[in-house]
């Protein structure tokens, strides 16, 4: 039985008022914990997990397995991620004891301006802006995977494509989750753009559970990329197909060029690490806001003796929510692509700064407002908002040599822009920028600019013990709620000694500096009145995380698979 049904503890999630997550919740399923001595892969779909596991058994590295897993995810879980999107990847090399990260985030075309989402003199509302060509950024997945393979791959590049090519050619069985998301979706592009409609809604109806869906176009393109490398994606016929789909879209056409695609480069960035109690917690640098916000929350919570509490106690939930509010206030103002707007990372994570932020927390009551602080290195900027929904995917891998990968990958909204090219969906990541570029006479850091990478909440994390050994590989989908999902799972394992599976099953609580959200269907939902008495505005909502965790044990590794999705773990 799930942990949250056993314990009277709960933890929920937040949502913007009156918004429904396009990638909706599709029920709970009990997950098997896998204990492994040598190698382990955890991902959001059994087909994808099996592909990664196959590569590991062939002697492949953690990066090799992540590549194979991603290529299959783009086929069987196309609403969440794929080669038409972007990713952040953390890699730990045991031999060198070095942690590196790769930024495969999408980029805005050179024609983009701060007024990119203004049409006919009016700012497009988000629920229109995300559909069609204007929202599409240059995809980064293939370049990022290629860079990772050049650095850390063991098997031949082409070998990693075989599971996905085989599955796309022979067909995969449509899962209940994909069927439900198609049936529930109100995405205009799925019906108005013929390629997507023909693939996902044959005869006008959602793909049925159990239907064997083949994708020969995807198989053909993957075969070209396997043989020729990333140029097969970023040049030639595929690049032209992307440009045509974006610029000729019947809804909100864009202005992308072949040069926008061919010039794309993935970036190797220095990871960001902070001390938390006796551990070192590491994640992505900007344009990820997710890892920094998680680290800020931990840095604030470090000033409270959580071990005197339980993970489901009202007081813990209060402290967790207040820490989240403070982190989100800073995130909205300061984090963006560092090539365009300097991000005061050191100031945001400074111990004294976080200690001062922690002192703003009332021990019992919610604060009516939390505004951004003024960390060292901060510039005068306006706060920005950009809706990020509960989509995306995360995978975690450990190989037989002890190398680790934590990778979060996304096409943004469920089913992305709705544009379907050569068997895959194109992202709508440009709506992760703040659509409104100016507020109160000040620039928003996360505004649209040519060649810029939009801010992301993706937060792949790796935690190390005092001996410098990786002990947790973590991450989740969930839009901006990723921050709270990941932070809660880390606190659960590090402070409350939960197993990875127990941490993945924790009921969610999030506060994005707007309202406190409690997860529907959990015991905590019944305690909404207690939090209202503390001054909170409370919502009880469905949540849809996808935590995929790996945790070190005395004899090896164990998995944590989110019961809210159809993920699986495999290892030996």
DSSP notation for 205-234 = SPPPTT-EE--HHHHHHHHHHHHH-THHHH
Q: Which of 392, 408, 431, 510 is catalytic?
A: 392
From residue 253, alpha-carbon distances to 178, 245, 267, 413 in Å are 27, 8, 28, 18
End-to-end CA distance of the chain: 24
Residue 284 DSSP one-character state: P
Is residue 387's pLDDT more than 80?
no
Domains and CATH numbers, the chain: 3-269+385-571 (3.60.20.40)
Q: Taking phi first (over 0 means left), then psi (-120 to 50 degrees means alpha), and beta for anything else, what does residue 132 get?
A: left
Q: Which of 3-12, 83-92, 124-133 has the lowest mean pLDDT?
A: 3-12
**Per-residue pLDDT tens over the stretch 455-510:** 999 999 999 999 999 999 999 999 999 999 999 999 999 999 999 999 999 999 99
Separation CA 246–CA 131 (nearest Å): 11
The kind and range of the H/E element at 44 are: none
The kind and range of the H/E element at 425 are: strand 424-425
Separation CA 418–CA 99 (nearest Å): 36
Separation CA 51–CA 299 (nearest Å): 37
Is 257 part of the annotated catalytic residue set? Answer: no
Provide mean pLDDT across the span 550-554. Answer: 97
Find the Cα–Cα–Cα–Cα dihedral 390, 105, 298, 404, rounded to 10°: 100
**Per-residue pLDDT tens over the stretch 281-337:** 999 999 999 999 999 999 999 999 999 999 989 999 999 999 999 999 999 999 999
Residue 19 DSSP one-character state: -
Separation CA 149–CA 154 (nearest Å): 8
Reply yes or no: is the peptide bond before residue 52 cis, omega within 30 of 0. Answer: no
- pLDDT in the model for residue 369: 82
Query: What confidence tier does 374 reach under pLDDT thresholds 50, 70, 90?
Result: very high
Is residue 1's pLDDT more than 50?
no
Query: What confidence tier does 202 reach under pLDDT thresholds 50, 70, 90?
Result: very high
What percentage of the chain carries pLDDT values higher than 90? 87
Mean pLDDT, the chain, whole residue set? 93
Question: SS3 for 398?
Answer: strand
Separation CA 394–CA 489 (nearest Å): 14
Is residue 20's pLDDT more than 50?
no
Say if CB 116 and CB 430 are below 8 A apart: yes
Say if CB 558 and CB 499 are below 8 A apart: yes
Query: What confidence tier does 84 reach under pLDDT thresholds 50, 70, 90?
Result: very high
Provide mean pLDDT across the span 385-398. Answer: 80
Q: Which of 265-274, 352-361, 434-443 has the lowest mean pLDDT?
A: 434-443
Separation CA 39–CA 570 (nearest Å): 8
**Per-residue pLDDT tens over the stretch 147-172:** 999 999 999 999 999 999 999 999 99
Provide mean pLDDT across the span 5-14. Answer: 30
Q: Residue 139's closest CA among 233, 48, 16, 67?
A: 233
């Amino acid at each position: 039985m799930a942990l949250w049904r056993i314990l009277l503890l709960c933890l929920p999630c937040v949502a913007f008022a009156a918004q429904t997550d396009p990638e909706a919740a599709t029920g709970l399923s009990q997950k098997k914990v896998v204990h492994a001595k040598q190698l382990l892969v955890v991902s959001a779909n059994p087909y994808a997990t099996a592909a990664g596991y196959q590569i590991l058994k062939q002697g492949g590295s953690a990066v090799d397995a992540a590549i194979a897993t991603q290529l299959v995810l783009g086929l069987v879980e196309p609403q969440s991620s794929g080669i038409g999107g972007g990713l952040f990847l953390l890699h730990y090399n045991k031999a060198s004891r070095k942690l590196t990260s790769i930024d495969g985030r999408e980029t805005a075309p050179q024609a983009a301006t701060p007024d990119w989402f203004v049409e006919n003199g009016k700012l497009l509302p988000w629920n229109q802006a995300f559909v069609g060509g204007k929202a599409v950024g240059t995809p980064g997945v293939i370049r990022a995977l290629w860079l990772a393979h050049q650095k850390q791959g063991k098997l031949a590049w082409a070998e990693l494509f075989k599971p996905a090519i085989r599955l796309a050619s022979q067909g995969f069985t449509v899962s209940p989750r994909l069927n439900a998301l198609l049936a529930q979706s109100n995405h205009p592009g799925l019906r108005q753009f013929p390629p997507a409609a023909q693939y996902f809604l044959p005869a006008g109806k959602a793909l049925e559970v159990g239907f064997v869906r083949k994708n020969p176009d995807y198989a053909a393109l993957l075969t070209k990329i396997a043989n020729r490398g990333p140029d097969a994606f970023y040049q030639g016929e595929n690049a032209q197909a992307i440009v045509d789909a974006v610029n000729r879209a019947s809804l909100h056409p864009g202005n992308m060029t072949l040069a926008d695609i061919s010039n794309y480069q993935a970036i190797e960035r220095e990871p960001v690490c902070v001390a938390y109690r006796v551990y070192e917690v590491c994640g992505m640098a900007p344009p990820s806001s997710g890892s920094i916000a998680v680290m800020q929350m931990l840095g604030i919570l470090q000033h409270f003796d959580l071990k005197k509490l339980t993970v489901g106690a009202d007081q813990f939930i209060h402290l967790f929510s207040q820490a989240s509010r403070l982190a989100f206030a800073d995130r909205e103002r300061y984090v963006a692509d560092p090539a365009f707007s300097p991000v005061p990372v050191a100031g945001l994570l400074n111990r004294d700064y976080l200690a001062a932020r922690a002192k703003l927390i009332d021990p019992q009551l919610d604060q009516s407002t939390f505004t951004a602080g003024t960390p060292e290195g901060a510039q005068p900027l306006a706060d920005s908002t950009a809706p990020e929904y509960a989509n995306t995917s995360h995978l975690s891998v450990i190989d037989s040599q002890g190398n680790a990968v934590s990778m979060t990958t996304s096409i943004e909204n469920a089913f992305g822009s709705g544009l379907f090219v050569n068997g895959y969906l194109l992202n709508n990541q440009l709506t992760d920028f703040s659509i409104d570029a100016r507020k109160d006479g000040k620039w928003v850091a996360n505004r649209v600019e040519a060649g810029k990478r939009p801010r992301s909440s993706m937060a792949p994390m790796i935690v190390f013990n005092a001996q410098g050994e990786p002990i947790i590989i973590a991450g989740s989908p969930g839009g901006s709620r990723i921050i709270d999902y990941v932070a809660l799972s880390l606190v659960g394992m590090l402070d409350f000694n939960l197993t990875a599976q127990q941490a993945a099953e924790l009921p969610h609580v999030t506060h994005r500096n707007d309202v406190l959200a409690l997860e529907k269907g959990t015991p905590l939902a019944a305690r909404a009145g207690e939090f209202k008495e503390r001054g909170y505005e409370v919502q009880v909502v469905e949540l849809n995380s996808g935590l995929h965790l790996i945790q070190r044990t005395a004899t090896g590794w164990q998995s944590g698979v989110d019961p809210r999705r159809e993920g699986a773990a495999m290892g030996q």
